[in-house]
Every structure is written in structure tokens, then in C-alpha cells.
Amino acid sequence: MVQLKVYRLYIISLFICVLCYGGAIKAQTVSVDVKLDTTEFLIGEQVGLEIHVMQPKNVSVGLPIFKTEELDQKDIEIIEELTNDTSLVDDKNWLIKKRLIITSFNAGRYIFPPIPVLYYSDTIKSEPVLFTVNSIDIDTTQAIKDIKMPYSAPVSFAEVMPWVGGSVGLVLIILVLIYIIRKIIKKEPIIKRNKPKEPAHIIALRDLEKLKANKLWQKDRIKGYYTELTDILRMYLWNRYSIKTLERTSDEILNSLKKSEFENEDLFLILRDILKTSDLVKFAKFKPLANENEKYLKESFDFVEKTKLIEEVLEQKDDIASSKEKEVEENIENN
């Protein structure tokens, strides 16, 4: 009797366990739904195919790899596979959304094959999706037209700029190279020093002559006379030695001249004397004697003449050198 009771209890327990296990299985059900945006579209049109996988939180599922080559239906093309969008539906279940962009380039009726989802050792498949790809209606009453070329996008400035810049740069480099080669062939210096239209000493000597002719100090305009005298010398120094003299004081001019390796000490002292005396006349009401006025003018002439000579000698040296080179070249040619 007791054994029968134990047997019954065992049977009941087993039945309850089976029921509970079945419930647990049911609670962990995975479902797959596939939906197309539209079941009818034009040839080449891109349509979204959405896959919804509902799964319990504690279960992991495996989605297949979506590739055109993997499909049985070769006329369907998977263009793009978007990333998964996972959301919590309730406390127990996740909803995984997967979106594919598909198209077809052949008109007809197609079936998108069932999508298998791995679930433990089992596989759940979605329902197949049927859709129609329509061809474009051709109006046969109209004349046949030529194929239109693809539209070309407008060219932007940023796209053109590197080419334009590069071309201009290339042209410039070619021009510079031509210039350098021509200079080398002609045996001329590549960079030529700009010279004033008139040599500095010509301007200075002409202005000194004009000052002499104006006879300012004889008319008791001593200050004006020395102002002009120093202005002529300052302009001369500027043109001759490229020293900024107009914005500098006498001391600063003399210092700059020293720095520019002005070697003639006698001429330097003459210039210093002229500038210092001029400062006294201009700023301290100093009135030199008549013979001093003449002396400073004469010394100014001398200064320009003697410093001019240095430049002429250099020019002459250059001329001699270039004429000798020409002679040598001519001899070579004659031989």
C-alpha cells in the first residue's frame, strides 16, 4: 500500500516537472518575422527588408551572414546591410531589428528565402516573402530616342584650384629655369642689381651746381643754404650707399657710414665737418664766414667726386673684365 502511494507520488512529481519544463521552453521561444517595405516595386528600385527577431534576454541567437552570393535566388541583390537595432520589449524579451536594402534588375515575381536564426542547436526560420519586380512600361507609339548620358555634377572651385595652382607653379618654374639657363648661356649675372636711372653722383653734382648758382648764402639765407647742402649730401649717401639718411641724425648717418665699411678716413672727417657745421647753422643760429661757406660747398663737390670715383673704378673693373671675357670668347670662336 505504502509502495503504491510512493509510486503515485513519483508519477505526479514527474508530470509536474514535465509541465514546468514545457512552460520554460515556451517562455524561451524565439520568433523571426520578415517584412518588406513594399511587395511591388520597379526594376532597380531599392527597397528595405526588415527582419525582426524576438528573443528572451537570457538566450543568445545567431543571425546569418547576408550576402547576395549566399541567396538561392540569384536575381535578388543585397545592396546594404544596416547595423542591428536592439531594444528591450519588456522585462524578459529583446527585439533585434535588422534592415537590409535589396533590389533586383530583372522583372518578375520572386521569393525572398526564409531567414534562418540559430537558437541553441535548433534553427528557426522566417516565412518566405513574395514580391514582384515590375519593368518600366514602354510607349511603343513614340519614336526611339538615343540613350541619355549620365548627368555630370558641377565642378567646384576647390576641385579645380589644385590643378590651376599646380599648372601656374609649373609654368613659373619652367619660365624661371628658362631665364636661368639663358643667363648662364649668356654668362650674365642671374640677379641684376637695380641701379637708379641716374647715378647718385650725377644727381648730387647737378644739385650742388644748382645750389651754387642760387647763391643763397650771398643773399643772407645761410640756414637755407646749409639745409639744402645737407639734403643733397644725405640724398647722395642714400642713393650711393643705401643708407636711410633722411630719417637719421648726423651722428646716426656717420655711424651707419662707418658700419658700411667706408674706409676713406679723410673723406669721413670732411663729411663729419660739413654735417656738424650744418647742424650748428640749422639749430644754433651759427653763421660761418663767407670763405667757410665756399669751403663746405667745395668739399661737398670733392666728397661726391671722390666717392663717385670708387664706384666708377668698380664699374670700369667690371667693364674691363667683361670686355676681356668677350675677347677670349671671340678668339675661341675665330680659332
Partner 1 sequence: MNEVVDIKELNDRIEKESSFVDMIKMEMGKVIVGQKHLVDSLLIGLLSDGHILLEGVPGLAKTLAINTLSKIVDADFSRIQFTPDLLPADLIGTMIYSQKKEEFQVKKGPVFTNFVLADEINRSPAKVQSALLESMQERQVTIGEETYQLPQPFLVMATQNPIEQEGTYPLPEAQVDRFMLKVVVDYPKLEEEKMIVRHNVAKSFPKATAILKPENIINARNVVKDVYIDEKIEQYILDIVFATRFPEKYGLEKFASMINYGGSPRASINLAMASKAYAFIKRRGYVIPEDVRAVCHDVLRHRIGLSYEAEAENITSEDIITEILNTVEVP
Binding site for partner 1 (CB under 8 A): 227, 244, 246-249, 251, 279, 282-289, 292
Q: Output 251 or 319, the one with its CB closest to partner 1.
A: 251
Q: Output 125 or 287, the one with its CB closest to partner 1.
A: 287
Min CB(227)–partner 1 separation in Å? 8
C-alpha 195 chain-centroid distance: 38
Residues 298, 211: Cα–Cα separation, whole Å: 12
Q: Output 33 or 220, the one with its CB closest to partner 1.
A: 220
Q: Output 149 or 284, the one with its CB closest to partner 1.
A: 284
Q: Output 126 or 277, the one with its CB closest to partner 1.
A: 277
Q: Output 42 or 246, the one with its CB closest to partner 1.
A: 246
Min CB(250)–partner 1 separation in Å? 8
Evaluate whether 71 touches 113 at the Cβ level (below 8 Å): yes
Q: CB 47: neighbour CB atoms within 10 A?
A: 19
Residues 33, 30: Cα–Cα separation, whole Å: 10
Residues 41, 84: Cα–Cα separation, whole Å: 25
Residue 102: φ, ψ to 5°: -120, 165
Evaluate whether 98 touches 84 at the Cβ level (below 8 Å): yes
Evaluate whether 253 touches 234 at the Cβ level (below 8 Å): yes
Q: Which burial class, exposed, middle or buried, applies to 225 when counting CB atoms under 10 A from its CB (0-12, 13-18, 19+)? A: buried
Min CB(217)–partner 1 separation in Å? 13
Q: Output 1 or 284, the one with its CB closest to partner 1.
A: 284
Min CB(296)–partner 1 separation in Å? 13
Q: What is the DSSP secondary structure assignment for residue 68, as one 8-state letter?
A: G
Min CB(224)–partner 1 separation in Å? 11
Tell me how many degrees the CA angle 262-265-266 measures, rounded to the nearest 5. Answer: 125
Min CB(318)–partner 1 separation in Å? 34
Min CB(288)–partner 1 separation in Å? 6
C-alpha separations of 33 from 73, 83, 119, 231, 256 in Å: 19, 17, 15, 100, 94
Q: Which burial class, exposed, middle or buried, applies to 13 when counting CB atoms under 10 A from its CB (0-12, 13-18, 19+)? A: exposed
